């Protein structure tokens, strides 16, 4: 017991940090929970600040292993548990993808579900908007943009996508008009590029996966839109040939079976 008291007396920085960490813990898990039960809206706590303060304090002592005790804090445990999922999501994001850059205010509610479908075939959305933050609207929650820029200058956003996020110029489409025709045209153009890669034999396994998802989700809608004349006439649409995509995927499926 005397050893514990001596340790406390000789490590005032650790004492203060531990006390602050405990106060934040009490705030997060007692006060905030009680307040949320009484409130009609959610109040968030102070994420990970307590554990960070505690670690700093522990590292100032001779017993630096005390920093490991932070692992029993629920937020830290959840964070560590989520790391494999974060890594897997990052790997998925690094696969071949295309970015549609559009102004948030140009997206109408009726076209939002169509834009949301694009993620199925690795077409992601970047939005720029007026104001200081991206508003939590039906459109935002539906399209789930991968990049949000809080300014309306699409050229500036385009430059940031290339320079800061290392997205190739040819993989970014700036949408001047956001409607059913332009969104479907962007998807068909991307699918056409992958379709041609598979036809030419210069493809990867994920390209087949994208085409299979497209056939199961967006193909029918795009095909019918083309029949109605909604897609631009200049657009190359080999991927929309009635049996072309199906036959190609069937052929590649048979090839995989033979290789096994």
pLDDT in tens, 225-243: 999 999 999 999 999 987 8
Domain boundaries, the chain: 2-88, 95-177, 179-260
Asked if the model's pLDDT at residue 41 lies above 60, the reply is: no
At a CB cut-off of 8 Å and minimum separation 6, what does 92 contact? none
pLDDT-wise least confident of 4-18, 167-181, 184-198, 219-233: 4-18
CA distance 238 to 206: 20
> Is the pTM higher than 0.75?
no
Asked if the model's pLDDT at residue 206 lies above 80, the reply is: yes
**Helical (H) or strand (E) element with 32:** helix 32-38
The pLDDT assigned to 221 comes to: 95
Residues 45-95 pLDDT 10s: 777 888 899 999 999 999 888 888 888 888 787 778 888 876 766 665 555
CA distance 54 to 242: 63
Torsion of CA 235, 238, 243, 245, to 10 degrees: -110
Residues 239-250 pLDDT 10s: 998 788 999 999
What is the pLDDT averaged over residues 163-184? 92
Q: Residue 118, Cα to own-chain centre: how many angstroms? A: 13
> Which of 70, 78, 141 minimizes the C-alpha distance to 112?
141
CATH class of 95-177: alpha beta
> Which of 184, 177, 187, 181 minimizes the C-alpha distance to 107?
177
**Placement of tokens 């193909």 in the chain:** 219
Orientation of helix 49-59 relative to helix 12-26, angle to 10°: 170
What is the pLDDT averaged over residues 98-111? 94
The pLDDT assigned to 185 comes to: 95
What is the pLDDT averaged over residues 103-114? 94
Mean confidence (pLDDT) of the chain: 87
Question: 208 phi and psi, to 5 degrees?
Answer: -65, -40
CA distance 111 to 48: 38
């Amino acid at each position: 017991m005397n050893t514990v008291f001596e340790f406390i007396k000789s490590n005032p920085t650790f004492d203060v940090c531990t006390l602050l960490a405990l106060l934040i813990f009490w705030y997060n898990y007692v006060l905030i929970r009680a307040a949320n039960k009484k409130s009609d809206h959610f109040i968030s706590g102070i994420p990970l600040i307590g554990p960070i303060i505690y670690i700093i304090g522990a590292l100032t002592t001779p017993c630096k292993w005390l920093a490991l005790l932070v692992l029993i804090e629920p937020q830290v445990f959840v964070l560590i548990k989520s790391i494999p999922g974060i890594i897997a999501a990052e790997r998925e994001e690094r696969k071949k993808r295309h970015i549609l850059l559009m102004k948030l205010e140009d997206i109408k509610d009726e076209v939002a579900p169509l834009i949301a479908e694009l993620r199925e075939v690795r077409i992601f959305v970047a939005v720029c908007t007026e104001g200081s933050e991206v508003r939590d609207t039906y459109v935002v929650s539906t399209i789930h943009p991968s990049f949000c820029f809080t300014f309306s200058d699409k050229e500036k956003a385009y430059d940031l996508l290339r320079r800061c996020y290392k997205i190739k110029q040819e993989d970014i489409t700036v949408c001047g008009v956001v409607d059913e025709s332009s969104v479907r045209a962007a998807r068909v153009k991307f699918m056409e590029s992958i379709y041609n890669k598979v036809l030419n034999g210069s493809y990867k396994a994920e390209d087949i996966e994208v085409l299979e998802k497209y056939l199961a989700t967006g193909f029918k809608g795009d095909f019918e839109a083309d029949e109605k004349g909604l897609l631009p006439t200049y657009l190359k649409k080999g991927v929309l040939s009635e049996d072309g995509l199906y036959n190609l995927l069937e052929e590649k499926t048979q090839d995989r079976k033979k290789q096994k």
